[in-house]
A = this chain, B = another copy of it.
């Protein structure tokens, strides 16, 4: 059973994991250096623990203790209990759904482990928006994708906001970082995947045609601003587009991915 600690001082050093959650840059350093990530909200906290991540601590207002009693029962980690006003002082924002947990990151699995048995894979290049990364994990999970691969510079899927938007899909979906950016797509081709890059390139074929009849597919997604790098666009096996009305400057990457996942799942 987690040990409860009532907190009355927002400067309490035991709350270090929960400081300044809105400061993205600070959080990136802090989380990387301490090997931790934060889960927010009762549902997401539960999913993180159920997925086997080891909690470092919990932080919540008293009214969440009952709902999470079963989760708290599985661990000896401290649970810091404080008012919502105090929680806001510590974290720098209004904590929706009242509960937070700090959990230990795990070593990332190898590419081979993640791809074991996978037939439909999402590959993100340099997405910068945590909301998009989370939404894409969620769409992939809902629409039948088996794994997610991230280029070395893609935004962190264990960042609090990614996890929250993804409703914890990052816990249930096997994922890892691609060890090498330059040859990432040829490597996937060599492993038996047809790499299909979503792009607005002139020679792109409608995604439905691009994936028709293909067994193992890796759907490749570029960043929000400039799309895929020239290298990735050129080294993909196929280039695909979602047919759109003329004059519209494309879907956002999360919407495009949802459509492409739906189509690919039905190939």
The residues of B that contact A244 with a CB separation of less than 8 Å are 142-144
The residues of B that contact A256 with a CB separation of less than 8 Å are 258
> Does A221 sit within 8 A of B, measured CB to CB?
no
Q: Is the CB of A248 within 8 A of B135?
A: no
Q: Is the CB of B141 within 8 A of A248?
A: yes
Q: Is the CB of B248 within 8 A of A169?
A: yes
> Does A249 sit within 8 A of B, measured CB to CB?
yes
Overall SS of chain A's interface: helix
Q: Is the CB of A138 within 8 A of B262?
A: no
A143-B245 CB under 8 A given contacts A135-B252, A138-B252, A251-B138? yes
Roughly how many angstroms separate A250 CA and B166 CA in the complex, as a whole number? 10
The residues of B that contact A258 with a CB separation of less than 8 Å are 251, 255-256, 258-259
> Which A residues from 213 to 267 make CB contacts under 8 A with B?
242, 244-245, 248-252, 254-259, 262-263
Roughly how many angstroms separate A6 CA and B257 CA in the complex, as a whole number? 44
Q: Is the CB of A139 within 8 A of B255?
A: yes
> Which A residues from 183 to 237 make CB contacts under 8 A with B?
none
Residue of B nearest to A255 (CB): B258
> Does A71 sit within 8 A of B, measured CB to CB?
no
> Does A2 sit within 8 A of B, measured CB to CB?
no
> Does A165 sit within 8 A of B, measured CB to CB?
yes
Report A88 CB to chain B, min CB distance, Å: 16
The residues of B that contact A254 with a CB separation of less than 8 Å are 135, 254-255
Q: Is the CB of B250 within 8 A of A142?
A: yes
> Does A167 sit within 8 A of B, measured CB to CB?
yes
Report A209 CB to chain B, min CB distance, Å: 13
Report A212 CB to chain B, min CB distance, Å: 15
Report A192 CB to chain B, min CB distance, Å: 23
Residue of B nearest to A207 (CB): B262
The residues of B that contact A242 with a CB separation of less than 8 Å are 143, 262
The residues of B that contact A259 with a CB separation of less than 8 Å are 143, 258-259, 262
The residues of B that contact A138 with a CB separation of less than 8 Å are 248, 251-252, 255
The residues of B that contact A141 with a CB separation of less than 8 Å are 245, 248
A selection of 8 A-B contacts at a CB cut-off of 8 Å is: A135-B252, A135-B254, A139-B252, A139-B255, A142-B255, A143-B259, A144-B245, A262-B263
Given contacts A138-B255, A143-B245, A242-B262, 11 further A-B contacts (CB under 8 A): A138-B248, A141-B248, A142-B244, A143-B259, A167-B249, A169-B248, A251-B258, A254-B254, A258-B259, A259-B259, A259-B262
